Amino acid sequence: MKNSFGKLLVGASMAIGLGAVAVTPAQAGTLTGATIGGTAASDYFVYGVSGNNTVKINNPTAQDLQNALTGNATSPTGNIELRKSTEQGTFTATDFTKNTTLSGQIGGKDITLSSLTYADWFSTGSGNSTAYGANNLATTWFNTFLTQANKANYVGTVLGNLAYKAFFDIKGFQRSSDPNISYVNQDDTTGLIKIGLAGHYNLKAAYSATGSPFATFASLLPAGFQASEVVKYTYNGVTDYLYSFTATNSGLVSNDGTNSHNGNYEVTINGVPPAKTPEPSVMLGVLGVAGIVAAQRHLKKVSA
């Protein structure tokens, strides 16, 4: 009888202990300690949410920065526009040498997201070149842009060169350099970092708007064409660029007349999983296992 009761006790203890370990869910971390910097540290906007609209926040606080970044692809809570003056006609070549950054920590590691500069687009490794076909981000990105716009036959041709020159002349690269960061999240198990870029769900429609400098260029694009702005990142010793040509509907729209922020473009970084600390449930599981060992020893003494 004692042995039967002992086995029942041990079995129950194991179920409790293992159950406590198994129910610990995967968590998702968000960017913390958000700060704005760069060589143009004051050139940014912070947008919050009011109903179904994004609304610019005047004189934003550190908490406003954090609040704008707490959402995800299905429920963004605003965004932070870096180097917001790139879309203004007064933006000069000198201005294009400066950047605005968003920095913080994700999973215990530093990350910096930045607007782009002239050197980011046109550096060839041995200097700068604005020529179509140069070995730089501008040519790489623009060829991808053409391909996504069903104009792959333009790539590397005279037509591609004409399209590139038209885009360059209307300051298309400058206007693609001011990313709107809507969230920075990390999967604590895989380490995957997801970054939301708010933009136009239908870029062709935005390009075609009355008064848009892109109106003529928009004729090259297919209906419903989508493209994000470009963001530069530095994380875990790596610096690179991210952009996307696929958007989901954010459920929001800006209230400034531009009808932007209704598209969410998600880009990713293969991040480092954060160091894990034992959950309380895991500790209970460990204690449960220790209890099993103690119970077994006690039962052996009783049976002897």
pLDDT tens digit string along 125-141? 999 999 999 999 999 99
Q: Is residue 276 part of a domain?
A: no
Contacts of 86 (CB under 8 A, 6+ apart): 95, 96, 115, 171, 174, 175, 177, 178
In a domain, 146, yes or no: yes
Query: What angle, 0 to 180 degrees and rounded to 10, lies between the N-to-C axes of helices 2-22 and 280-303?
Result: 170
Q: Tell whether 260 is covered by a domain.
A: yes
Same domain, 14 and 35: no
Let me know: does 75 contact 251? Beta carbons within 8 Å.
Answer: yes
Are 189 and 288 part of one and the same domain? Answer: no
Q: Are residues 111 and 212 in the same domain?
A: yes
Each residue's pLDDT tens digit, 227-269: 999 999 999 999 999 999 999 999 999 999 899 999 999 999 9
Exposed, middle or buried: residue 232 (CB in 10 Å: 0-12, 13-18, 19+)?
buried
Look at residue 147 and tell me if it is in a domain: yes
38, with CB counted inside 10 A (0-12, 13-18, 19+), is buried
Could you tell me if residue 275 is inside a domain? Answer: no
**12-16, 29-33, 98-102, 283-287: range with lowest mean pLDDT:** 12-16
Verify that 242 and 292 share a domain, yes or no. no
291 and 257 in a common domain: no
Exposure class string for 242-280: b at 16+ Cβ within 10 A, else e: bbbeebeebebbbbeeeebbbbbbbbebebeebeeeeee
Pairing outcome for strands 180-187 and 79-82: antiparallel
Distance between CA atoms of residues 288 and 10, nearest Å:
10
Lateral strand order in the sheet of 32-37: 32-37, 101-106, 109-114, 231-235, 238-242
Q: 35 in helix, strand or coil?
A: strand
* Shared domain check, 297 and 169: no
Say yes or no: 285 and 217 in one domain. Answer: no
Specify whether the CB–CB gap between 217 and 167 falls below 8 A: yes
Structural domain containing residue 298: 2-23+281-303
Q: What's the mean pLDDT when you consider all of the chain?
A: 88
Q: Name the β-bridge partners of 232.
A: 114, 241
According to DSSP H, which parts of 107-213 are helical? Answer: 118-122, 137-148, 158-169, 172-175, 203-207
Residue 296 lies in a domain: yes
pLDDT in tens, 51-69: 999 999 999 999 999 999 9
Same-domain pairing of 39 and 106: yes
Q: DSSP secondary-structure letter at 38? A: S
Quick one: 38 and 170 in the same domain? yes
Report yes or no: 54 and 47 within 8 Å, Cβ to Cβ.
yes
Count up the domains in the chain and report the number.
2
6, 38: one domain: no
Model confidence band, residue 302 (pLDDT cutoffs 50, 70, 90): very low
Residues 38, 12, single domain; the answer is: no
- Asked if the structure places residue 84 within a domain, the reply is yes
Please say if the pLDDT value at position 203 is more than 90: yes
Classify residue 45: in a domain, yes or no.
Answer: yes
Dump pLDDT digits (tens) for 99-125.
999 999 999 999 999 999 999 999 999
pLDDT in tens, 140-172: 999 999 999 999 999 999 999 999 999 999 999
pLDDT given for residue 216 in this prediction: 87
Q: From CA 148, how far away is CA 145, in angstroms rounded?
A: 5
Do 64 and 119 have their domain in common? Answer: yes
The number of residues in the chain equals 304
